[in-house]
């Protein structure tokens, strides 16, 4: 049988649709946020980042929105393609007790693109 904790939140979308992946972060002092894409058997791959003095940042087919009031981050992928199928992690990078570049990852979301 399957165990609790072995299931990633999953977002299933049709090819060509837009995808929105959400993330809540924990530390209001965090000043830098990153979205990573991780395909099966590979390491995390940088997608886009945003600093806390911005609300929105756009890349190629991707947009990151930051709402500091509610500590929420989202990743929007336009015209989702089968190659976008992967696990997506948000990560926050804050000053934890003076520590330096320490990334804290969210739990991850599995994006499944249906052809």
| Positions that interact with another protein (CB under 8 A) | 5-8, 31-32, 34, 36, 41-46, 49, 51, 89, 93-95, 99-103, 105-108
Question: Shortest gap between Cβ of 79 and another protein (angstroms)?
Answer: 25
**CA-CA distance, 74 to 7, in Å (whole number)?**
20
DSSP string of 41-105, one letter each residue: TS--EEEEEEETT-SEEE-SSEEEEEETTTTEEEEEESS--GGG-EEEEEEEE--STT--S-EEE
Q: Between 87 and 113, whose beta carbon lies closer to another protein?
A: 87
Minimal distance in Å, beta carbon 108 to another protein?
6
For another protein, the closer CB: 79 or 95: 95
Nearest-approach distance from CB 87 to another protein, in angstroms = 8
Residue 5, H or E segment:
none
Q: Least CB distance from residue 16 to another protein, whole Å? A: 27
Q: Of 1 and 43, which has the nearer Cβ to another protein?
A: 43
Q: Indicate the pairing of strand 103-105 with strand 86-93.
A: antiparallel
């Amino acid at each position: 049988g399957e165990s609790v904790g072995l299931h990633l939140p999953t977002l299933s979308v049709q090819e060509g649709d837009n995808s929105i992946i959400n993330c809540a972060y924990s530390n209001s002092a965090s000043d830098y946020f990153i979205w990573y894409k991780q395909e099966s058997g590979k390491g995390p791959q940088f997608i886009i980042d945003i600093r806390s003095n911005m609300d929105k940042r756009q890349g190629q087919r991707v947009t990151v929105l930051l709402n500091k009031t509610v500590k929420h981050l989202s990743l929007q992928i336009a015209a989702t393609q089968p190659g976008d199928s992967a696990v997506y992690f948000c990560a926050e990078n804050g000053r934890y007790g003076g520590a330096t570049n320490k990334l804290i990852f969210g739990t991850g979301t599995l994006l499944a693109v249906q052809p």
